[in-house]
Structure 1
Amino acid sequence: MKERRYVGIDVGKRTYAMAVIGKAGAVTHSNGKTSDAGRAALWKKLQKTDKVAIEAGNMAFIMAKEILAQVGCEVVVLNASRLALIYGSMKKTDKEDSLKLARIIEQFRDDQLPSVPLPSDQEMRRRKLIASHSRAVKLRTQMINTLHGLFLHQGITTVVAKDLATTENREAAVKQLTGLEREEAEWTLEVIEHCEKRMVRLDKHMAAERKGDKQIERIMEVPGVGPVVSLAFVAFLGDGSRFENASQVSNYLGLVPRVDMSGTIVKYGGITKRGNKYLRSLLVQASWAVMRSKQGSALKERYEYMTVVKGLGKKKAIVAIARRLAELLWTLLRSGTDYEPRKFTGPSKGVPVEKIVTEALAS
């Protein structure tokens, strides 16, 4: 029987570096391209008894699935942001990183590793849809802001960005421009139109993904959680089974504060912002939607308590609500139960939160 080898693969955009720890700790290095032919050559270097470590990423997921299918050896996908051993080193090269990945799986048990589950084909498809939607929305917003700037260039201050949200308003407003600004504005209108057409098409794809999905339907019952938020949440968290508790979910999404501990002094900073940035922003947007909703909810009451009674800033409070919202959605996914509206009890037992808020506003 062949002795187990520990293999670390550091993946770049076009190339990879591989380190193999073999018999008696002997280390060998190799590299290659991440093209189809390059990956096929890599599989021939691996053995079925190998244990492979690879950093998480789109190409890493592709390569990990191919290794499982073509070689059949064990593959561990690691969260690079939590590998202090790699990023804490003063010397950082692809060759060095691949060796450190191999050392990590050689020296640590699986339950000690910051491993990332391989997403299913369905999850990957949904993540790509969400990413495409994010790019289209971002470009549309950027172009509307550019269009608004053209009005300011000609001293027209009566037109504000929100007036340019619809095609009719944009076309009517552009007639006020002249010269080069008018020409630039007409080109910008075409870009915005293409973005909106792309968004419509993506909406149809996402509607097809949501159709008949009980998990998505379940979390869409929560106030503020719309079609895009629900699909994105399930795309990145699946059924929630890989998380043991709600705190792990908040940490995964980067909605927990940074903690700086020095002796007996503990300082809390801004949120870590780990995980998917777009999903995190969607949860914040959903939280604002909850605040604007006429429908009461524990999240809305908690926000009012934090801002009115405790005096917390609105931006900090809404991030705290986004964290609570994420934990609520995970709970519904994990338990398989339907959403039921509840009241926020607050820290004062027996005293309705509405009364606490009302008294605070009156004082």
Structure 2
Amino acid sequence: MFYAALDVSLRSVAICIIDQDGKVRLERSVPSEVPGLVRCLREFGEPIHQVGLEAGTLTQHLTYGLTEAGFDVVCMEARQVNAALSAMRNKTDKHDARGIAQILRSGWYSRVHVKSVESHHLRALISCRKVMQRKCIDLENEIRGLLKIFGVKLPLRLSRGGFDIAMRDTIESDPALSHAMLPMLQARRVLFDTFTELDRRVRKAAHADPVCQRFMGVPGVGEITALSFKAAVDDPARFKSSRTVGAHFGLTPRRFQSGEKDNPGRISHAGDADVRATLYAAANAMLMRSIKWTSLKAWGVKLMKTKGRRRAIVALARKIAVVLHRMWVDGSDFRPGSEAAA
């Protein structure tokens, strides 16, 4: 029985193949392309039981390519692999590949779910929208800061579409100022038009997806939250219990227990930060903006009176994640609950 480990970098992959006794049988470095990896593994001449690599940017591309070639690919949790490899005195790609091979042989690892291509497409769309939004905000803040030097104070709130009109009237009245700032304003306009188009595509994708439509039946959950959650979870069956979804997105407290010490901490902030932020925004909208009564909101309001607003919103965000996953698994719609039960 043979185990192959891959230490992946952008341009090359260090390969180490060991037998069931841990003896190194092959070490080689090849380009980080699927055909080269498949050729190297097949030239070894013996059937390989498993191929292991740690989670990274090329994980999805390499995993699907090797799986299609007939190999059993194991994607390992990067923090566990890093903790195991930190005991090695010298860090090289060759030594890392050896360490990953031994971890794979021993079974001391947590297997990471490799998301589907569809999920990565959705995440790419959401990420592009967010990048354009950030760049627009950065340019708007830069323009506001430059105008303050000349004593121009803009209103605190301007609609995204009205910003260009308000700025152009102010800048064009001063020829020297327009010479410097009109190109920046034009660049902001192009970015804003791009953001508007990407935002339209994101919302269209959410409304076209039946799962996202059910998610949006929860008060406070909009298109961005629904699509982000669906893309991040990808396969609801990979969670044995809906209660673990909150922990997956870092919405449960840390705990440090040793001997007589048992200190609960703040939330772990593990997992996808963008999904955690959208769930927090959904919980805040349900608690502070939504006028529709639900048992979830009643629970959050009650918690807010004893624990404070921020803790209540975090707890409600975790509950929303649990509810969304259960709705997805059961294929059910959101049920507000009964006021008598609350």
**Amino acid corresponding to residue 71 of structure 2 in structure 1:** C
**Identity percentage of aligned residues:** 25
Q: TM-score, normalised by structure 1?
A: 0.82
Offset of 1:220 from its aligned partner?
1.1
Counterpart-to-counterpart distance in 2, 1:39 and 1:194:
38
Counterpart-to-counterpart distance in 1, 2:67 and 2:134:
36
The CA deviation string for residues 239-263 of structure 1, in whole angstroms up to 9 with x for no partner, is 4111011232112212222212232
Q: How does 1:169-318 map to 2 (within 5 A)?
A: 169-173=163-167, 175-176=169-170, 182-183=178-179, 185-290=181-286, 291-307=288-304, 309-312=305-308, 314-318=309-313
Task: From 12, 17, 22, give the equivalent of 1:20.
Answer: 17
Offset of 1:64 from its aligned partner?
0.7
State how many pairs are aligned: 333
Counterpart-to-counterpart distance in 2, 1:255 and 1:61:
26
**Amino acid corresponding to residue 192 of structure 1 in structure 2:** R
* Contact 1:239/1:334 (<8 A) preserved: no
Residue 166 in 1 paired to residue 160 in 2?
Answer: yes
SS at match of 2:201: helix
Unpaired runs of 5+ residues, structure 1, are 353-363
SS at match of 1:138: helix
SS at match of 1:259: strand
**Amino acid corresponding to residue 103 of structure 2 in structure 1:** I
Counterpart-to-counterpart distance in 2, 1:301 and 1:88:
48
SS at match of 1:324: helix
Partner of 1:355: none
The CA deviation string for residues 279-335 of structure 1, in whole angstroms up to 9 with x for no partner, is 11111122222121111223332332223x2142x3333222211111111111112
Residue 42 in 1 paired to residue 22 in 2?
Answer: no
Counterpart-to-counterpart distance in 2, 1:262 and 1:29:
41
Task: From 297, 314, 323, give the equivalent of 1:319.
Answer: 314
Residue 66 in 1 paired to residue 39 in 2?
Answer: no
Across the aligned residues of Structure 1 and Structure 2, the Cα RMSD in angstroms comes to: 2.7
When residues 123 and 267 of structure 1 are mapped into structure 2, their CA distance, relative to the original with a 3 A threshold, is same
Offset of 1:182 from its aligned partner?
4.9
Counterpart-to-counterpart distance in 2, 1:32 and 1:286:
46
Unpaired runs of 5+ residues, structure 2, are none
When residues 205 and 82 of structure 1 are mapped into structure 2, their CA distance, relative to the original with a 3 A threshold, is farther
